[in-house]
């Protein structure tokens, strides 16, 4: 009996192909091992963060930890500064799907800083360490009636990654990117000194840090604006048909400052749902939907329901559930890993364990899955001026055809750093996020992404740097403004201490 089962199993693998089985049956390993492990990880980290904050030990320990980082940098110097430095956080722990090769060759500086240091409600600022993550920050701030004006959705995104990379949320059409709600950075520089930079103090450095990916210094703390929070988000769902109509409605909603939140989910070239929301103190009881409860449908599936039923709707969602609405299904990535994850039976029984930690998925993916993902999977966020939205969606459709597309508007103020609009006026942009399996037959990871990158450069847009970047160096510096960045690298002695940002994030620097 067992033997015939094994034979049948092997036959099935032969028919389907080993690659297919490894990718499509990954859920067995994920459900049996990664989900329970993820729960243990989460409980440990939340309990630790809560205890440390309650005992008020975080600020005292912080100074010690900064001194330790300064000592590591000075030791690196004494030992002859032979290689570049990078943060010692293992590549598999980050949210980005890639693991940098440089971690193996550079001097790893251990930055073990994951605490919320201080909430100053008078100045309306929270001071945090770089490894504090969004789940931790909302859990604390929301419980005392405050929130970050821009709160990127996934629990595991860290302050360091969002400052040095970038971060965005459906409130960014008012407040800008994550960097625009930061008022101060504290950094350990290549010579081991500690500096604080703000709009007034060391202002060049303040503007150059965002998007520099740790190539100007090590972030050891950030001060971020906070705003009062209300318990509910009143969310309005509007299904829209026709590409032109979608772009028009989305642009109008994004320009309307009375909407605290604006987001679009596009399910095909001509079908989307546009959501607009405001924070409120009270909810109509019959319209409450606690979407974050473990047995609730995945958010993007719930939203699709409005399109299928072709009706608008209004719901009241608890604020924290709203913020982390895409966490449980990792936007829509989890459907490729656990195909039955949105089935009601699975949700009721195991939904509380979901999602598996991205870091554990990366750690255990193995070379075959990594290679297949790279060839048959797209994870890209392209930031383009809103006026080019229609062309951009058409381009995405021709080059990759991945749905749903995430549409998130944001305001880009003029500036001197790597990312700012072409003119001196602030401009409305949109982040187009494509996560999933491309449906176009001619998809080829490098060629198709390069085509998209060219389009984005041509319209003066930007590519998020966590994703696979296939641009050549000249193309990269055509997209990003390197003037201030290069000037500071010279002045602060970064050239011997850190790689250039292009060398750190480009394809050849990674697996």
Q: CB nearer to ligand FAD: give 13 or 139.
A: 139
In whole angstroms, the minimum distance from the beta carbon of 137 to ligand FAD comes to 12
In whole angstroms, the minimum distance from the beta carbon of 109 to ligand FAD comes to 9
Helix, strand or coil for residue 167?
A: coil
Q: CB nearer to ligand FAD: give 243 or 386.
A: 386
Q: Which of 38, 70, 87, 170 binds ligand FAD (CB under 6 A)?
A: 87
Per-residue contact string for residues 437-476; x = within reach of ligand FAD by CB under 6 A: ---------------------------x-x----------
Using CB under 6 A, which residues numbered 35 to 74 contact ligand FAD? none
In whole angstroms, the minimum distance from the beta carbon of 331 to ligand FAD comes to 6
233 CA to centre of own chain: 22
In whole angstroms, the minimum distance from the beta carbon of 91 to ligand FAD comes to 8
> CA-to-CA distance for 50 and 452, rounded, in angstroms?
43
Q: CB nearer to ligand FAD: give 243 or 374.
A: 374
Q: CB nearer to ligand FAD: give 84 or 466.
A: 466
Q: CB nearer to ligand FAD: give 89 or 234.
A: 89
Q: Which of 149, 176, 210, 214 binds ligand FAD (CB under 6 A)?
A: 214
Helix, strand or coil for residue 369?
A: helix
Using CB under 6 A, which residues numbered 138 to 197 contact ligand FAD? 152-154, 157-158, 160-162, 164-168
Interacting stretch for ligand FAD, rule CB under 6 A, among 13-21, 95-103, 299-307, 336-344? 95-103
Residue 118's Cβ-count burial label (10 Å; 0-12, 13-18, 19+) is: middle
In whole angstroms, the minimum distance from the beta carbon of 94 to ligand FAD comes to 3
In whole angstroms, the minimum distance from the beta carbon of 433 to ligand FAD comes to 8
Give the Cβ contact number of residue 250 at 10 Å: 26
In whole angstroms, the minimum distance from the beta carbon of 336 to ligand FAD comes to 12
CA separation, residue 342 to residues 209, 220, 316, 462 (Å): 40, 39, 22, 33
Interacting stretch for ligand FAD, rule CB under 6 A, among 21-29, 33-41, 87-95, 390-398? 87-95
CA separation, residue 336 to residues 340, 353, 381, 420 (Å): 9, 17, 19, 35
> CA-to-CA distance for 136 and 231, rounded, in angstroms?
17
Give yes or no for residue 213 binding ligand FAD (CB under 6 A): yes
Q: What angle do helix axes 445-458 and 389-399 make, rounded to 10 degrees? A: 170
In whole angstroms, the minimum distance from the beta carbon of 466 to ligand FAD comes to 3
Residue 6's Cβ-count burial label (10 Å; 0-12, 13-18, 19+) is: exposed
In whole angstroms, the minimum distance from the beta carbon of 504 to ligand FAD comes to 6
> How many residues lie near ligand FAD (CB under 6 A)?
30
> CA-to-CA distance for 135 and 146, rounded, in angstroms?
14
| DSSP bridge partners of 264 | 274, 407
In whole angstroms, the minimum distance from the beta carbon of 92 to ligand FAD comes to 11
Q: CB nearer to ligand FAD: give 157 or 279.
A: 157
> CA-to-CA distance for 149 and 442, rounded, in angstroms?
41
Beta-carbon-side half-sphere exposure of residue 179 (alpha carbons within 13 Å): 26
Q: CB nearer to ligand FAD: give 157 or 189.
A: 157
Using CB under 6 A, which residues numbered 361 to 400 contact ligand FAD? 379
> CA-to-CA distance for 214 and 221, rounded, in angstroms?
13
In whole angstroms, the minimum distance from the beta carbon of 218 to ligand FAD comes to 4
Peptide bond into 282 cis (omega under 30): no
Using CB under 6 A, which residues numbered 110 to 129 contact ligand FAD? 111
Helix, strand or coil for residue 97?
A: coil
Give yes or no for residue 330 binding ligand FAD (CB under 6 A): yes
In whole angstroms, the minimum distance from the beta carbon of 405 to ligand FAD comes to 14
Q: CB nearer to ligand FAD: give 150 or 243.
A: 150
Sheet strand arrangement including 405-412: 313-318, 232-241, 271-280, 261-268, 405-412, 427-436, 378-385, 462-463
In whole angstroms, the minimum distance from the beta carbon of 251 to ligand FAD comes to 21
Q: How open is the CA angle 365-370-376, to the nearest 5 degrees?
A: 130
Contact 223, 127 (CB under 8 A): yes
Paired sense of beta strands 313-318 and 427-436, if any: unpaired
Q: CB nearer to ligand FAD: give 21 or 93.
A: 93
Q: CB nearer to ligand FAD: give 218 or 237.
A: 218
- Of all residues in the shown chain, the one whose CB is closest to ligand FAD is 161
> CA-to-CA distance for 335 and 347, rounded, in angstroms?
13
Q: CB nearer to ligand FAD: give 243 or 456.
A: 456
Q: DSSP for 393-410, please give it.
A: HHHHHHHT--SSEEEEEE
Contact 266, 403 (CB under 8 A): yes
Q: Which of 58, 62, 72, 130 binds ligand FAD (CB under 6 A)?
A: 130
Residues in touch with ligand FAD (CB under 6 A): 87, 89, 94-97, 111, 130, 152-154, 157-158, 160-162, 164-168, 213-214, 218-219, 330, 333, 379, 464, 466
């Amino acid at each position: 009996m067992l033997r015939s089962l094994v034979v049948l199993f092997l036959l099935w693998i032969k028919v389907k192909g080993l690659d297919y089985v490894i990718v499509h049956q990954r859920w067995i390993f994920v459900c049996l091992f990664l989900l329970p492990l993820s729960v243990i990880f989460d409980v440990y980290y939340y309990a630790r963060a809560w205890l440390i904050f309650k005992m008020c030990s975080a600020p005292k320990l912080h100074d010690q930890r900064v001194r330790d980082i300064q000592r590591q940098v000075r030791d690196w110097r004494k030992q002859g500064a032979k290689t570049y430095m990078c943060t010692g956080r293992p590549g598999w722990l980050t949210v980005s799907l890639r693991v940098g090769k440089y971690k193996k060759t550079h001097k790893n500086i251990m930055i073990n800083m994951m605490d919320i240091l201080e909430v100053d409600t008078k100045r309306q600022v929270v001071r945090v360490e770089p490894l504090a993550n969004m789940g931790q920050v909302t859990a604390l701030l929301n419980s005392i009636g405050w929130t970050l004006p821009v709160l990127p959705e996934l629990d595991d995104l860290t302050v360091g990654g969002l400052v040095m990379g970038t971060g965005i949320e459906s409130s960014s059409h008012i407040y800008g990117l994550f960097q625009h709600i930061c008022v101060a950075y504290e950094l350990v520089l290549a010579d081991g000194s500690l500096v604080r930079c703000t709009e007034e103090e060391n202002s060049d450095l303040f503007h150059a840090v965002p998007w520099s990916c740790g190539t100007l210094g090590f972030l050891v703390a950030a001060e971020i604006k906070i705003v009062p929070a209300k318990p509910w988000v009143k969310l309005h769902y509007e299904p829209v048909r026709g590409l032109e109509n979608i772009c028009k409605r989305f642009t109008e909603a994004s320009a309307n400052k009375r909407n605290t939140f604006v987001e679009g989910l596009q399910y095909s070239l001509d079908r989307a749902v546009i959501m607009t929301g405001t924070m409120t103190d009270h909810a109509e009881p019959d319209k409450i939907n606690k979407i974050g409860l473990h047995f609730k449908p995945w958010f993007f599936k719930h939203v699709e329901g409005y399109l299928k039923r072709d009706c608008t709707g209004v719901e009241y969602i608890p604020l924290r559930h709203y913020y982390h609405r895409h966490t449980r299904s990792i936007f829509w990535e989890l459907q490729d890993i656990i195909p039955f994850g949105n089935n009601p039976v699975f949700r009721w029984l195991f939904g509380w364990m979901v999602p598996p930690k991205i870091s554990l998925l990366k750690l255990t993916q193995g070379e075959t899955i990594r290679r297949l993902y790279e060839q048959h999977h797209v994870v890209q966020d392209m930031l383009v001026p809103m006026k080019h939205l229609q062309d951009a969606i058409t381009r995405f459709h021709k080059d990759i055809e991945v749905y749903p597309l995430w549409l998130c508007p944001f305001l880009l103020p003029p500036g001197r750093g790597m990312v700012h609009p072409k003119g001196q006026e602030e401009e409305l942009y949109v982040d187009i996020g494509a996560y999933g399996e491309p449906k176009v037959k001619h998809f080829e990871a490098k060629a198709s992404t390069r085509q998209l990158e060219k389009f984005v450069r041509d319209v003066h847009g930007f590519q998020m740097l966590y994703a696979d970047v296939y641009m050549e160096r000249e193309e990269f510096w055509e997209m990003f403004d390197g003037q201030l960045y290069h000037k500071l690298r010279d002045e602060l002695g970064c050239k011997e201490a850190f790689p250039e940002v292009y060398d750190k994030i480009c394809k050849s620097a990674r697996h």
